[in-house]
Amino acid sequence: EAGVTQFPSHSVIEKGQTVTLRCDPISGHDNLYWYRRVMGKEIKFLLHFVKESKQDESGMPNNRFLAERTGGTYSTLKVQPAELEDSGVYFCASSRSSGGYNEQFFGPGTRLTVL
């Protein structure tokens, strides 16, 4: 079974540009999460999809961030326009939809550098 994949692995852009990160969850996982770690900080939750619906987006830092999951499969996270403080590693995770505590499977992350 393939794990969670993320693309690109690295992205270097200039301030003001737009970047789109992609996450492909494990097949059959209805739940998809985005997290990020900025330099020196803890991994922080951004948002949670259940299928194509946003279950919880309270962690999104501001309206420059837009996450989508059309069709309930892969997800994209767009940052527009990017700012210096957006630099960090963005992780995607997925989990099944059954009840109880669900293990989240993480992708390798996308390292975003904004210059």
Partner 1 sequence: LAKTTQPISMDSYEGQEVNITCSHNNIATNDYITWYQQFPSQGPRFIIQGYKTKVTNEVASLFIPADRKSSTLSLPRVSLSDTAVYYCLVGDEDRGSTLGRLYFGRGTQLTVWP
Residues that bind partner 1 in the complex, under the rule CB under 8 A = 4, 31, 33, 35, 42-45, 48, 50, 55-56, 59, 91-93, 95, 97, 99-109
Q: In the complex with partner 1, which residue's Cβ is closer, 19 or 107?
A: 107
Cβ(42)–Cβ(5) under 8 Å?
Answer: no
**Closest approach of Cβ 101 to partner 1, in Å?**
5
Q: In the complex with partner 1, which residue's Cβ is closer, 81 or 106?
A: 106
Phi/psi of residue 91, nearest 5 degrees: -110, 145
**Closest approach of Cβ 100 to partner 1, in Å?**
6
Alpha carbon separation from 94 to 29, 47, 103, 115 (Å, rounded): 6, 12, 8, 30
